[in-house]
Amino acid sequence: MTQNQIKEGVVVKSTGSWVSVRTPDGTVVPCKVKGQFRIKGIRMTNPVATGDRVAFTSLPVSGEGLIHKIFTRDNYIIRKATKLSHEAHIIAANVDHAFLIVTLVNPRTSTGFIDRFLVTATGYFVPASLIFNKLDIYDSAQQNHMRELFRIYEDAGYPCYAVSALRGDNVEQIRDLVRDKVSLFSGISGSGKSELIKAIDPHLDPRIGEISEVHRKGMHTTTFAEMYDLADGGFIIDTPGIKEFGLVHFEENEIPRCFPEMDRLLPQCQYSNCTHIHEPGCAVKQALERGEISQLRYNSYLSILNDDNKR
């Protein structure tokens, strides 16, 4: 292998068997993966993920590449591949900010799903925010519910935004947030991720799905994460719609550290390893009684602690 055969780039699409790598000059090279890459001994469905910085050997005859090195990741978003699988799936790596697209209807994003995503983002050092989409179809009760969720999640430390990708409400605000950054867009199927991306940059054409009339769920359209160049600068990673979000490689004592509103109170607890469940002198339970911590978030915390998927 000669030195001039080795190139570096960023993975912009990973379909499993093939990986697309963009080099600094903007060329996109189809690559295969050499050998096995592992992190923390976790079995993964995709050892090379969108957003990875990689080194590859250019094959002169075919013009294809062979990836032989993944550079150290700054962070990543990871989840259980399936409910029963022991494998993990890296959604994307080296992300400046993760935006979870939330919908209150058609389809509804559960708060349990939201909290599992936020726990993972926090645990793997990815700043995260919530974007409530489909503002154009919310009635007054749903708008009131959205405002309550804004209060809960912003108090916890996660910025919240309300948009209508269809009507264009507040899209400019999101466009400003993603400019010159690598932003991950995730959410359940049908939440309107691809539609919002197209509203942010009309030059882009991610696949946009429909809503199943039978289950009122989003029909699966995007099948792999793909990074798009934004005309105003920066990149958006569009991800497959997710139905469930199982946590990966969290120890039980790490879960409370991923709820910022609880983590802030830990120094005031009587015990430094307080689980915020049964210990006396627990500052979190006291704050919960005073209404300073959301019961909804605390219920999610208990659910995650009892969820075998976190193992």
pLDDT at position 216: 41
pLDDT at position 107: 94
Tens-of-pLDDT digits for all 311 residues of the chain? 444 478 999 999 988 778 999 999 999 999 998 766 655 555 677 789 999 999 999 887 788 999 989 999 999 999 887 655 557 888 999 999 999 999 999 999 999 999 999 999 999 999 999 999 999 999 999 999 999 999 999 999 999 999 999 999 999 999 999 999 999 999 999 999 999 999 999 999 876 444 434 334 443 444 589 999 999 999 999 998 877 788 887 888 899 999 999 999 999 999 999 999 999 999 999 999 999 999 999 999 999 998 754 44
**C-alpha–C-alpha distance, residues 94 and 51, integer Å:** 6
**CB-based contacts of 133, cutoff 8 Å, min separation 6:** 101, 102, 103, 163, 164, 165, 187, 191, 192, 196
pLDDT at position 37: 63
Q: Give the fold, CATH level 3, of 85-238.
A: Rossmann fold (3.40.50)
Q: Are 88 and 44 in contact (CB under 8 A)?
A: yes
**C-alpha–C-alpha distance, residues 126 and 120, integer Å:** 8
State both tokens at 129: 């925010």
Compute the CA torsion angle 220, 221, 227, 233 (nearest 10 deg).
-110
Quick: pLDDT tens for 198-233: 999 999 987 644 443 433 444 344 458 999 999 999
CATH node for 3-70: 2.40.50.140
Neighbours of 226 (CB within 10 A): 21
pLDDT at position 41: 56
Q: Give the fold, CATH level 3, of 252-305.
A: Ribonucleotide Reductase Protein R1; domain 1 (1.10.40)
pLDDT at position 218: 41
**C-alpha–C-alpha distance, residues 215 and 188, integer Å:** 13
Beta strands (DSSP E) in the chain are 6-14, 19-22, 28-33, 53-58, 65-70, 76-80, 88-93, 97-102, 128-132, 160-162, 182-187, 226-229, 235-238
Same fold: 3-70 with 252-305? no
**C-alpha–C-alpha distance, residues 245 and 262, integer Å:** 21
Cα–Cα nearest to 11, from 207, 227, 170: 227
pLDDT at position 251: 86
Taking the domains of the chain in order of start, what are their residue ranges? 3-70, 85-238, 252-305
Q: Are 218 and 190 in contact (CB under 8 A)?
A: yes
